[in-house]
Amino acid sequence: MAKKRSGGGLTGTQQAAKFLGVSVLSGAVLAGIALPAAGALGLAAKGTVEGFDEIPSNLKTPPLSQRTTILDSEGGLIATVYSRDRKVVPLDKISPYVQKALVAIEDARFYEHGAIDLKGVLRAINKNAQSGGVSEGASTLTQQYVKNVFVEEAGDDPEKVAQATQQTIGRKVRELKYAIQVEEELGKKKILENYLNITFFGQQAYGIEAAAQRYFSKPASKLTLPESAMMAGLVQSPSRYDPINDIEEATKRRNVVLQRMADVGDISQQEADEAKATKIKLKVKTPKNGCITAVDGAGFFCDYVRKTVLNDPVFGKTSEERQKLWNLGGLTIRTTLDPKAQAAANEAAVAKVNKDDGVATAVVQVKPGTGRILSMSQSRPYGLDQKQHQTTLNLAVGSKMGGTTYGFPVGSTFKPITAAAALEKGLSPAQSFDTPWKISMKESDFTRCDGKPSGYAEWSVQNELKSEKGAFDMTSALGKSINTYFAKLEQMAGLCETLTMAKKVGYERELGKPIRQSPSATLGSLESTPLDMANVYATFANRGIYCVPVVIDSVKAANGDKLNVPQTKCTRAMSDRTADTINQMLKGVVEDGTGTRAGLSDRDNAGKTGTTEGRKDAWFVGYTPDLSTAVWVGDDVGKRDEMYDITIGGEYYEKVCGGCLPGPIWRIAMTGALGDDAPSFVDVKVPRAEKPKDPKKDKPDADDKPRGDDKPADKPVSPLPGITLPDLTGGGDSRPGHGRGNR
């Protein structure tokens, strides 16, 4: 029967063990047990006592790494992620058979001795002396636990793991010192509980609960005698006795454990024999780990959550602290993801673009006035299998958060920013310019924020179609996406003022790069991300107030403590009157402008199309008062091909445009995500030019037809077969000093 302590003191055996640990094991006895040839290994007992005295008195037991659970805004599971699959459970949630089996096979006198088993030490010394080598060790279960603590603390660092397991006298002495302290502070039951939760059981399972689920698909509390014996047998060598890979070896080892349990009196011989006759019946549960398991295509959203924890200082001052928090796990992260919106975004992302197409699409949605990211999806599935066209590149965000280096040129979706800057400067929406389809302007007429000219070259700007000429006011120019108008409007509003407005509404370049102060900015030559553009337009929907995007609502640690999370910060970027005016003008884009294919018929909505040079990118960014969605389509790999004469999602496009592909995708995403409530924009009267000329009496934008007769003016056709003519029109808004057809 086990000897128990009374009043918290040490038993006679424990006191003897402590004495032995301090004196005898400080010298050559330890070397005799663990290191039969200490001298040959260059290890001497000299100085060991001094080293013992220098060991810190407090054992720092690291919290055990566990699974992190990522939830949506309603508490539904998005994904489970972990560096080590473990779920810590109390001893009363672990089958008594497991507890007895482990003690029987690993340390049968566990309840009788202290940190060191005196009888075991003497027995090991005798056997090792007789064999001339190490035929038997003397580590108690407590010492094994201490060793596991150091291994756990080392994590996946090979150097630290080697230090934690190196066969040196110094490490053995340190282990013993800590084992003595653990015995005094924790007691036997807590040591056993901690041991069963920290130990590796093979198949990526750490701790008895994860192992029980892995091998038998049941909790540790429900393990039977034969199952418990098998589990206890794994501890010595999880790979050798792995029942999944070698059922015969696992059975032999299990039977050894069962016999040992009978020998020490934990079970009867009859119980042992009956259990031995039972075949091991596995019910293996494959673990689901990582963002690749996320529901409704939310892998990219899940990864954005991970990146937030790893990058935001609220989770730790240094990157090392944040990485340690993530690896430690055990977190319950409740996010801003709206399951209805995510399902709609995922449906939209794959509705018009196939995963194996040469181009991809990204869809991201935010809630105006909150910064809350509601959904994030794309046409290529999240994962590492390129043969299945999977990717981990998040096309909705920049490189810091797992996306592209800078994002993508945004095309004409930038034009409302110029309009907002002009309105803030006091210009009227009725401001009219009468221009030909192509104009030339001096870069020196545009002033940077440092007061210097933006350049000294000529800037050639042209519209998409030669028929797009004449007089336009701000409303008609937005509706038809007139480049020449916005070049002149930017000049009047001011280049610096325009770029300052861009920064206020969240138009950022990644990696801390400043916005390039080039006149072509008004035509969308600079890169941004779909997430940033969704937030830009959410600012218009929120009547001029920009809110920093957020993705996490709350985080609970494994012990139930609430952690601080990033909070949105809202700032006014423009007057509510300016935003209301932009909203009314952009309503025209979806009602009778370039975005008619995207428009929603049952509620107020607004938006803007955009394409870039060579139609390498196509955009639609639009919103209602309560939802903003950005859709991008383009080549996400390779050389960024132009989207002319291309089949996407099984449909042929002579030329891809913002209204003909991203627009319908946007409509699907919005329709599925919106609820029954249909709030309206604030109705304001938008002044118009007295007699704005309308150069096109039919459909306002031939560009929005997937098949049409109007070839872009900037796409010359070579008269010589097999020879490509250089572009001599002076266009190209992705280069400083140039601008061309952006829809």
H/E/C letters for each residue in 597-617?
CCCCCCCCCEEEEEECHHHCE
Max CA pair span of the chain: 110
Type and span of the H or E element at 579 = helix 576-592
- CA 654/CA 642 separation, integer angstroms: 11
Please name the residues in contact with 345: beta carbons below 8 A apart, sequence gap of 6 or more: 297, 363, 364, 365, 375, 376, 377, 629, 669, 672, 673
- CA 544/CA 582 separation, integer angstroms: 10
Please name the residues in contact with 419: beta carbons below 8 A apart, sequence gap of 6 or more: 429, 474, 478, 486, 489, 582, 585
Answer for the pair 659, 710: CB distance below 8 angstroms, yes or no: no
Which bin fits 364, alpha (ψ -120 to 50), beta or left (φ > 0)? Answer: beta
CB atoms within 10 A of CB 255: 19
pLDDT score for 168: 72
- Strand ranges inside 489-604, DSSP E: 527-528, 545-547, 552-556, 562-563, 570-572
Answer for the pair 608, 589: CB distance below 8 angstroms, yes or no: yes
pLDDT score for 16: 42
Please name the residues in contact with 100: beta carbons below 8 A apart, sequence gap of 6 or more: 228, 261, 266, 267
Answer for the pair 518, 454: CB distance below 8 angstroms, yes or no: yes
Q: Please tell me whether residue 113 adopts helix, strand or coil conformation.
A: coil
Q: Please tell me whether residue 524 adopts helix, strand or coil conformation.
A: coil
Answer for the pair 17, 5: CB distance below 8 angstroms, yes or no: no
pLDDT score for 303: 97
Angle between helices 188-198 and 169-186 in degrees, nearest 10? 120
pLDDT score for 582: 98
Please name the residues in contact with 405: beta carbons below 8 A apart, sequence gap of 6 or more: 398, 399, 510, 511
Place of tokens 């599935």: 381
CB atoms within 10 A of CB 436: 12
- CA 538/CA 544 separation, integer angstroms: 9
Place of tokens 């108008």: 485
- CA 731/CA 459 separation, integer angstroms: 9
Answer for the pair 589, 606: CB distance below 8 angstroms, yes or no: yes
- CA 459/CA 101 separation, integer angstroms: 82
pLDDT score for 205: 93
Instruction: Tell me 714's DSSP state.
Output: T
Q: Please tell me whether residue 90 adopts helix, strand or coil conformation.
A: coil
Choose among 115, 102, 108: nearest CA to 175: 115
- CA 674/CA 557 separation, integer angstroms: 33
Angle between helices 530-541 and 576-592 in degrees, nearest 10? 110
Beta strands 738-739 and 458-462 are parallel
Residue 351, token pair as written in the block: 């509705």
Answer for the pair 555, 562: CB distance below 8 angstroms, yes or no: yes
Name the residue type at position 576.
Answer: D
Name the residue type at position 378.
Answer: Q
3-state secondary structure 229-295: HHHHHHCCCCCCCCCCCCHHHHHHHHHHHHHHHHHCCCCCHHHHHHHHCCCCCCCCCCCCCCHHHCH
- CA 503/CA 494 separation, integer angstroms: 14
Name the residue type at position 109.
Answer: R
DSSP line for 376-444: EEESSPBSS-GGGT-B--EEEEEGGGTEESS-EE-GGGGHHHHHHHHHHTT--TT--EEE-SEEEEEGG
pLDDT mean for each 10 residues of the chain (743 residues): 42 45 42 36 38 43 84 96 90 97 94 77 59 56 88 76 73 79 87 94 94 96 98 96 96 97 97 97 88 93 97 96 92 98 97 96 98 97 91 94 90 97 97 95 95 95 93 95 97 97 86 82 93 97 97 95 97 98 92 81 94 94 97 87 94 94 96 94 93 51 37 39 33 38 54
Choose among 19, 42, 43: nearest CA to 172: 43
Q: C-alpha dihedral over 288, 290, 295, 299, to 10 degrees?
A: -160
Answer for the pair 619, 418: CB distance below 8 angstroms, yes or no: no
CB-count burial class (<10 Å; 0-12, 13-18, 19+) for 708: middle
